[in-house]
């Protein structure tokens, strides 16, 4: 995909859209084709670090043991220790799943994490994900991981052959938005079995606008 094309479409999207009193989010939508999602190998589930911020930082909670308590409390938004797991009610765990976007867990207590949080976090897709780097050893520095996660997005097919994700805010520089789109597109392309043949169309939209076709 050509960057100049993306820049022209971003300009068109902003010009077409009614001005709002807030900076709208910009989503990238990719409709796929010739992809049988009944085959596990055709399902898309990738985490992609973007070159630029996406305008909205995720809230991150640490699920840790003693080795990582200090590191987690200094760098993450909230920390729950292994000792505190048994004190949590189902309602508190449900509240955590709503309040936080990502959970980072210490690897050697994953069995305890699964036992305590799995029944509620699992169906919501909130369990600490090794693909995103969210299952970590007890001696890790969490600051670089947090910074990477703040710039990362997840592209995932569920029941439909479509992926959709936030790529930035309306107030961001168009060059940065285009870089984010290009990075996502190229990463998705390399994850598809037939690459470009699996892509039907690429769209961008603002929170309160109709989508426009990029390719």
Both tokens assigned to 142: 């969490």
- β pairing state of 162-169 and 25-32: antiparallel
pLDDT in tens, 20-69: 888 899 999 999 999 888 888 888 989 999 999 888 889 999 999 999 99
Phi-psi region of 94 (alpha: psi -120 to 50; beta: other; left: phi over 0): alpha
The answer to whether residue 103 scores a pLDDT higher than 90 is: yes
- Residue among 78, 86, 85 at smallest CA distance from 102: 78
- Residue among 28, 89, 41, 87 at smallest CA distance from 213: 28
Give per-residue burial for 193-203: e unless 16+ CB within 10 Å, then b.
Answer: eeeeebbeebb
- β pairing state of 45-49 and 152-156: antiparallel
pLDDT in tens, 128-140: 999 999 999 999 9
SS3 assignment for 7-61: HHHHHHHHHHCCCCCCCCEEEEEEEECCCCCCCHHHCCEEEEECCCCCCCCCCEE
Sign, Cα dihedral of 162, 164, 170, 172: negative
Both tokens assigned to 23: 């900076």
Which helix (DSSP H) or strand (DSSP E) does residue 213 occupy? strand 212-213
Fold match between 3-54+152-213 and 60-150?
no
Q: Assess contact for 103 and 121: CB atoms under 8 A.
A: yes
- Average pLDDT score over residue span 97-118: 97
Domain-wise residue ranges, the chain: 3-54+152-213, 60-150
- Average pLDDT score over residue span 75-99: 97
Classified by CATH at the fold level, domain 3-54+152-213 comes out as Ribulose 1,5 Bisphosphate Carboxylase/Oxygenase (3.30.190)
pTM reported for the whole predicted model: 0.83
What is the pLDDT at residue 178?
Answer: 96
What is 147-208 written as a DSSP string?
A: HHHHTEEEEE--SSSEEEEEEEETTS-HHHHHHHHHHHHHHHHHHSTTGGGGEEEEEEEETT
pLDDT in tens, 148-170: 999 999 998 888 899 999 999 99
Beta partners for residue 205, in sequence order: 27
CATH class of 60-150: alpha beta
């Amino acid at each position: 995909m050509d960057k100049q094309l993306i820049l022209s479409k971003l300009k068109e999207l902003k010009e077409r859209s009614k001005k709002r009193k807030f900076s709208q989010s910009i989503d990238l939508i990719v409709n796929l084709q010739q992809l049988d999602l009944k085959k596990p190998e055709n399902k898309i589930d990738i985490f992609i670090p973007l070159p630029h911020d996406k305008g909205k930082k995720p809230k991150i909670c640490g699920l840790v043991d003693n080795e990582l308590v200090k590191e987690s409390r200094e760098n993450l938004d909230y920390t729950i220790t292994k000792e505190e797991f048994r004190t949590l009610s189902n309602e508190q765990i449900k509240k955590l799943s709503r309040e936080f976007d990502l959970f980072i867990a210490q690897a050697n207590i994953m069995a305890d994490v699964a036992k305590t949080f799995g029944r509620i976090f699992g169906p919501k897709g909130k369990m600490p994900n090794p693909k995103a780097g969210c299952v970590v050893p007890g001696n890790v520095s969490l600051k670089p991981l947090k910074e990477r996660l703040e710039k990362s997005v997840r592209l995932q097919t569920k029941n439909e052959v479509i992926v959709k994700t936030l790529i930035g805010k309306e107030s961001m520089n168009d060059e940065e938005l285009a870089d984010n789109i290009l990075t996502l597109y190229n990463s998705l392309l390399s994850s598809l079995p037939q690459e470009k043949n699996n892509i039907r169309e690429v769209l961008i939209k603002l929170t309160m606008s109709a989508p426009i076709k990029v390719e």
